[in-house]
Amino acid sequence: MAIHQTATTQFVTVNDTKFAYRLFGATSSIPLVCLQHYRGTMDHWDPLFLDTLALTRPIFLIDYAGMGLSTGTTPTTFSGWASDVASVLKALNIPAIDLLGFSVGGFAAQMLALNYPSLVKHLILCGTGPSATEGLQPTGEGIFEGFTNAMTFEENKTIYLSAFYTSSTTNQKAGLEAWERITTSRENRSDWTGLESTQNQSAAFVAWSKGEGDVSFPRLGELKMPVLVAAGGKDNVVRTENSLILWRAIERGHLVVYPDASHGFMSQYAVLFARNVELFLGEK
């Protein structure tokens, strides 16, 4: 059975864009499609989390258009990201999925579930929030700029550790261990996204934050599948309060909050969170 470190990168062309994807793990159920965070690629997932899940189900990773190993131009809306993913799944004859979105990947996941409801059987929203509504709290000062402007390996490491983990010794140790796993798990890794894609991702984030265009909050009541909202109790990137607002707006929403954790809770509690996901995916 292939794992994250050994999974083969495959390609499918849709509307003149060549999308890179990986499908690995057990074959006993529908795939769990995982949508990545801001500026991230398939190579920026924590292998401990993915490989724990891969023991019981197939895992599907994808690079959005214009990111990582995919060609094309990154859409400037999260509904555009969702449309691309849906088109790829259709081209691959995958009629049903479970769906996990992390951070801005959670924004795209909301739109995929809303615009293609027959496709998504379970929805997992990690470290994410809804589009503009009352009560949402802003990202911590300097964090978005730090992620946007980080270019070197060390700059990305610094913002990752400071934003994804609290300043406690225990959290920073967990962050360093996760960073090591993420950055050494595969050879010839993709870099964080370049300037053009980053600008388009930023535009999508700004529109989402203003509630402009095809966004989620006014439509969250349309979600009829089981939804798991997961967050760190001290998230300073997508504030924990925003995840709570998201959860309250979803009819079949479940909530799990991990203690003494920030945006990196998926790595800090990698095995536990994977087990929680497995349990949730068993719900009908």
Domains of the chain: 10-281 (3.40.50.1820)
Q: Residue 72 region, left (φ>0) first, then alpha (ψ -120 to 50), else beta?
A: left
pLDDT value of residue 31: 98
The Cα–Cα gap between 243 and 128 comes to: 6
pLDDT digits (tens, 9 = 90+) for 82-92: 999 999 999 99
Give the distance from CA 45 to its chain's centroid: 9
Mean pLDDT, residues 91-113 taken together: 98
pLDDT value of residue 193: 85
- Look at residue 73 and tell me whether its pLDDT is greater than 90: yes
pLDDT digits (tens, 9 = 90+) for 236-264: 999 999 999 999 999 999 999 999 999 99
Q: Which residue has the higher pLDDT, 144 or 157?
A: 157
Place of tokens 């959670």: 106
Percent share of the chain, pLDDT over 90: 90
The Cα–Cα gap between 50 and 3 comes to: 8
- Look at residue 220 and tell me whether its pLDDT is greater than 90: yes
pLDDT value of residue 233: 97
Buried b (16+ CB within 10 A) or exposed e, 16-36: ebebbbbbbbeeeebbbbbbb
Whether the full predicted model's pTM is greater than 0.85, yes or no, is yes
pLDDT value of residue 23: 98
pLDDT value of residue 192: 80
pLDDT value of residue 2: 82
pLDDT value of residue 191: 79
DSSP per position, 104-167 = HHHHHHHHHHHHSTTTEEEEEEES---SS-TTPPPPPTTHHHHHHH--SHHHHHHHHHHHHS-S
Mean pLDDT, residues 5-20 taken together: 96
β-pair type (17-25, 10-14): antiparallel
- Look at residue 47 and tell me whether its pLDDT is greater than 90: yes
- Look at residue 284 and tell me whether its pLDDT is greater than 80: no
pLDDT digits (tens, 9 = 90+) for 151-191: 999 999 999 999 999 999 999 999 999 999 999 988 888 87
pLDDT value of residue 202: 94
